């Protein structure tokens, strides 16, 4: 919060009253007022994966809808707070407009009632992101134009600045994870393609049972064989698996493969688990490329740990 106040960010989306009070104290000590939108939980089912649903009453996010007016009255009484808007976020990877519409209709009603109570609501932050089609047979989510038309229909008469959070829609299909086959191993009742990438590089399959398309980097010829296998990494976890019983072109050790749709929640969720350095990130623009995050070598990774004086 301290750094954000010094940077003069556009607004703070505040999740709770304790957070609101902490922010007010910091801002007051600096002789400032923090611009605040309160995140209100609309209790709307986003119809997405349970681990990325954020707008139900049972979720940890935001202030209960029934307490919205009480929270805004409290915010207005704090010396370091300037109320500017309302924030709502119902989840990620939404593939229907219905949950958005239900949540945003509630926001529009709340804007009217808060203004009637004397609160200056200038902005609405409409969080929750449109999804992308990870699976080949998955229907395409609504187009951004359809989403935009719905937002205009709900919010155009409110006279508010509208903030949206498209995230995954922009980045998801812009990135892939490039990896190499180490071995192809035949187990007792299944075949394993062991990759040099692991769950620490792309966590989504292990965390969410998420689907990512897998394909050879070099397009196979018309006579290429087919195989069914589990695609796994070398980390010491049974959950280190990218795909189960996946059909693909026959692969062998040394082949390069890509895991598709890895541009969102890929690199940012990566870790150095099992002392595996973060992989480099490469930005490609036509025939040009640039390394935008270099690989950290193992020595640099180990150097972050230090012996306690009594063990040296």
- Which residues are known to be catalytic? 236
- What is d(CA 306, CA 312) in angstroms, rounded to the nearest whole number? 9
Which is it for strands 63-64 and 288-293: parallel, antiparallel or unpaired?
unpaired
- What is d(CA 167, CA 68) in angstroms, rounded to the nearest whole number? 27
- What is d(CA 254, CA 242) in angstroms, rounded to the nearest whole number? 18
Say how many C-beta atoms besides its own lie within 10 A of residue 259's C-beta.
Answer: 24
Query: Cβ(76)–Cβ(83) under 8 Å?
Result: yes
Q: Which of 206, 269, 267, 201 is nearest to 241 (CA)?
A: 206
Query: Cβ(75)–Cβ(38) under 8 Å?
Result: yes
Q: What angle do CA 88, 89, 94 make, to 5 degrees?
A: 140
| Residue indicated by tokens 């002392």 | 275
**Assigned token pair, 147:** 């989403």
**Assigned token pair, 133:** 């089609």
- What is d(CA 204, CA 270) in angstroms, rounded to the nearest whole number? 10
Say how many C-beta atoms besides its own lie within 10 A of residue 96's C-beta.
Answer: 15
């Amino acid at each position: 919060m301290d750094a954000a106040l010094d940077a003069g960010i556009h607004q703070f989306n505040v999740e709770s009253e304790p957070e609101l009070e902490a922010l007010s104290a910091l801002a007051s000590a600096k002789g400032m007022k923090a611009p605040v939108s309160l995140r209100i939980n609309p209790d709307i089912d986003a119809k997405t994966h349970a681990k990325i649903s954020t707008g139900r009453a049972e979720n940890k996010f935001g202030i209960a809808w029934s307490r919205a007016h009480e929270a805004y009255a409290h915010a207005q009484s704090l010396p370091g707070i300037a109320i500017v808007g309302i924030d709502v976020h119902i989840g990620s990877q939404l593939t229907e407009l219905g949950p958005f519409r239900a949540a945003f209709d509630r926001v529009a009603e709340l804007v009217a009632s808060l203004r009637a109570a004397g609160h200056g609501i200038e902005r609405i932050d409409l969080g929750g992101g449109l999804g992308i089609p990870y699976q080949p047979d998955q229907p395409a989510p609504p187009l951004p134009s359809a989403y935009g038309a719905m937002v205009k229909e709900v919010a155009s008469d409110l006279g508010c600045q509208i903030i949206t959070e498209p995230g995954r829609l922009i980045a998801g299909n812009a990135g892939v994870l490039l990896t190499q086959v180490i071995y192809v191993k035949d187990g007792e009742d299944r075949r394993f393609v062991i990759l040099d990438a692991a769950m620490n590089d792309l966590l989504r399959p292990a965390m969410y049972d998420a689907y990512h398309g897998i394909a050879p980097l070099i397009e196979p010829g018309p006579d290429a064989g087919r195989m069914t296998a589990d695609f796994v990494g070398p980390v010491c976890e049974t959950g280190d698996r990218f795909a189960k019983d996946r059909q693909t072109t026959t692969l062998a050790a040394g082949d390069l493969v890509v895991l598709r749709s890895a541009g969102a929640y890929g690199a940012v969720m990566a870790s150095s688990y099992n002392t595996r350095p973060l992989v480099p990130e490469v930005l490609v623009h036509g025939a040009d490329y640039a390394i935008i995050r270099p690989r950290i070598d193992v020595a640099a990774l180990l150097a972050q740990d230090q012996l306690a004086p009594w063990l040296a």
